Each structure stands twice: as C-alpha cells, then as structure tokens.
Amino acid sequence: MYRDVLVIGAGVLGLSSACHLKRKNPEKSVLVVDALGGPGRGNTAKSAGVFYNLHSSESNYLLADSTIDWLFHLQDDLGYDLDLAQHGYLYLLSESKYSMLRGLVSKMRRWGIDLRTYDKDELKRVMPDLVTEFGEEETELMGLDPVDVGLFGVKCGSVNTDALARSLEVDFLGLGGEVSYNTAVTSLILRPERRLDLPGEPFVWQDIQVVGAETERGEIEAETTVVAAGVWSERLLDPIGFDPLMRPKTRAIFVFKDPRLQGLLGVRGFSSLNTLPFTQIPEIRIYLKAELTEGSIWLGCADDFGRRYGLEDDPKPESGLYSNSIYPALVKYLPCFQDIRPVNMWAGQRAINRYDGVPVVAPAPGMIYVGSATGTGIMKCDALGRAVAALYADEEDVELFGGRRLKAASLGVETRGVEKEAFKI
C-alpha cells in the first residue's frame, strides 16, 4: 500500500498534523494509523486535559497561547463542543519560592500574559479551605513551607480531550483524509535514497531515508512518514538511531467526588465559572483540577526527580501513592480532604524533555518527528500540527493560529533554537 503521507499515531498531535497536512496539500493522500481502536485513546485520554499560557519559554508561550485561541475558535466559531472551561490557573507558593519566580513573572507580563497575584489575606478570603499558616510541629518536621502567594493565570482552563481528538478526526475525514485504527506499526522502513537493489542494502556509505512503516496489517510505503506516537515513538525511533530528546514517565491522576469537597470545588471569584482553578501546590508536587462535567476534583502527582523513566503500555498508579505518600501532606494544606478516598484513579505516561521542556518537531530523511514535552501536547496541538505541515512544505516560518510566527527549524534537534522552559508543572 502506498500513501503520500503516513502519520503514525491518532493522538492529538498526529491528528492535528494530519489535518494541517491535508488542508495544505489536498491533492496528497494522507493516512493516519493507530494501534488502538479510535482517536485519542492512548495517553491523550489519560491526560488531565488542561491548557495554560503560562510558560517562561517564548516558544512554549507562542505554541500554547495560539493553540488556546484556536481551541476557542473550534468551539465558539466552528461549533465543536469541547467542554472548554476557562477556570484559570492558580500557583500556590511560599514567599521564598515566589521571589525566585519574580523575573519570570515580569517577562510573562511583558508578553501580555494576564497574570495576577493574591497575597495571603486575599487567598484566605477567596479560598477558605486552604491553610496558609501551619504553626505546628508536624509540618515543620515534614519540611513543608506554608502558602504566602497565589499566582493566577487567566487564560488557562480545561478541555475534554476525547471531544478534541474526535473533533480533529471529523475535521481530517472531512478534508478527505483516511484513518486506519487497530493498525499497530512494528517498525519504520529504511531504504537507500539511491537504490542499487543489491542484497544487504542499505550499506553504511549510502544515504538512507524512511520510506514508510511495517504494520501488523502489512507494509505501508509513503513519501513522508510523520512519527507522532507519543511515548511509543522510541520503539520506532531507537531501531533507526533517531533520538527524539524525550523519555517517558508515568503520572497518576486520582478522582474525588464527595460533598465535603463542594466548598473547594465551588470557590468563587477566580473566574466567571466560580469554580476551583487548576491549582498547583509545587511544594508537595500535586495539582488539582475541577472537572465540572462530573462535579469532581482530579488530583495529579507531578513529581520528577526520583520518578523512573521507562515506557509502559499499561501504567498504573503506584500502590499507596495517594494514601501513604500524597495524603499526609495534602491534608495539611487542604484539610477538607480528610478521610476522603479517591473514587477512581489511573495513570498515563508523558514524554519528558528534560533538556529544555519545549516540543520537538524534527525532520530526518523521509520523516518528521513531532513530540510534545512534559505532557503539554494537548495545549499546543494546533501549533505543532502547523509546524509539521511547515516542515513538510519546506517553509521557513510556522504561521500560528492568529497570525504570529515562529521559525520551523527552531523546534528541530540539530537546528534547535528555543529558550528553556523554567515554569514547570
């Protein structure tokens, strides 16, 4: 089977790439394959589904800020229902941690990011469930700093990742694209650029290129292969010696639904939604997200050093992670969680780019790799799909939704030119 473009992975990055490729090149045949049975069934489905324009790397800011605008365009102008909820992003910090972020905050404000601060008294008033002063021996022993400052980003919220993936699929199919699910790719196919048809090719002195993929349903040849397989990309890229600069880590999410959390879920004043913003307590490496469609609170663990790297097909939350590890510290800040146990939990994997925390969109002969970093692919999916289409068309600039631009080569590997991300979840 031959297609002009083969996209491996029907997550948000693969589908967004496929849409932009097909839209710009309607005459080309574009096929998306995925090992799973539908769009966004891999780690897209396991993510927290948040978006925020708070990034200290200008590349990340442009990728996310333009994609957020596009998400609202998709819902408000094109009529796709994405359950967008702009509840804001609240970062709860001690005075000493906040002082280290002052430079970043000024930079983000210069870019036009709407960023507010709450002092301790304001936090107490708007978020009565939050403990901002400990004054007890136990938290001292535990080494926990109290909360002095809340940093609040306005253009932040959550999106239904399943609806987003399905919308992208609808868009792509409407453009005349093809999708083949339950089609696991087993390897990429390498051939010499100039074939001699001799046994043993490719030889070490030949220039080689990717010419498609071997799948469980047979070989698919393609002029260009887009690898957008998320954490699974390394299974395809290691054998051909291409380093995507990303390694997978497991991140768990716990779901809480309890009348005792209604106060927290319904905090007023942060946004017109009058609900809990996406709230991060970096001191204990957790975040909370209001899931309005089900009236629940999601809690995620965002530890890094100490959490192993390694690909897992079916990751699970570590035994005791919530009850033994997170809980004792969580209830110090939010006593309303006392004695409440999660009603659901799961784990997904995210690809971590420890080097600079910025996505990679990099060409190799016959191939384009696209990978997000630190699990922020959903909020950058439109921009990254555009970057893939720009590389495909050999364009110097990526034109983002809304008209801003960035250099396509800056997201590459050898040609990389991005600022490191310092603002991490």
Provide, rounded to whole angstroms, the least separation between the CB of residue 405 and a second copy.
24
**Nearest to a second copy of 45, 208 (CB atom):** 208
Distances (CA, A) of 181 to 36, 48, 113, 197, 234: 6, 24, 39, 33, 20
Provide, rounded to whole angstroms, the least separation between the CB of residue 286 and a second copy.
7
Q: Which helix (H) or strand (E) holds 385?
A: helix 381-392
Provide, rounded to whole angstroms, the least separation between the CB of residue 131 and a second copy.
15
**Nearest to a second copy of 125, 341 (CB atom):** 341
Phi, psi of 117 (to 5 degrees): -120, 145
What is the rounded distance in angstroms from the CA atom of residue 264 to the CA atom of residue 37?
37
Instruction: Extract the tokens encoding 261.
Output: 């959390």
Provide, rounded to whole angstroms, the least separation between the CB of residue 55 and a second copy.
16
Q: Which residues bind a second copy (CB under 8 A)?
A: 141-144, 190, 193-194, 196, 199-200, 202-208, 237-243, 245, 247, 249, 283-286, 301, 303-310, 320-321, 324-326, 328-329, 352, 354-355, 364-365, 413-414, 416, 420
Residue 65 in contact with residue 56, Cβ under 8 Å?
Answer: no
**Nearest to a second copy of 179, 190 (CB atom):** 190
**Nearest to a second copy of 29, 325 (CB atom):** 325
What is the rounded distance in angstroms from the CA atom of residue 356 to the CA atom of residue 419?
7
**Nearest to a second copy of 278, 369 (CB atom):** 369
**Nearest to a second copy of 310, 402 (CB atom):** 310
**Nearest to a second copy of 18, 288 (CB atom):** 288
Provide, rounded to whole angstroms, the least separation between the CB of residue 410 and a second copy.
13
Provide, rounded to whole angstroms, the least separation between the CB of residue 421 and a second copy.
10
Distances (CA, A) of 222 to 189, 360, 368: 10, 22, 12
With vertex at residue 30, the alpha carbon angle to CA 28 and CA 35, rounded to the nearest 5 degrees, is 170
Provide, rounded to whole angstroms, the least separation between the CB of residue 341 and a second copy.
17
Q: Is 189 helix (H, G, I), strand (E, B) or coil?
A: strand
3-class secondary structure for 201-212?
CCCCCCCEEEEE
Q: Which helix (H) or strand (E) holds 333?
A: helix 327-333
Burial 282-292 (b: 16+ CB within 10 A, else e): bbbbbbbbbbe
Strand partners, 362: 369
Provide, rounded to whole angstroms, the least separation between the CB of residue 191 and a second copy.
10
**Nearest to a second copy of 114, 419 (CB atom):** 419
Instruction: Extract the tokens encoding 331.
Output: 């209830």
Residue 248 in contact with residue 234, Cβ under 8 Å?
Answer: yes
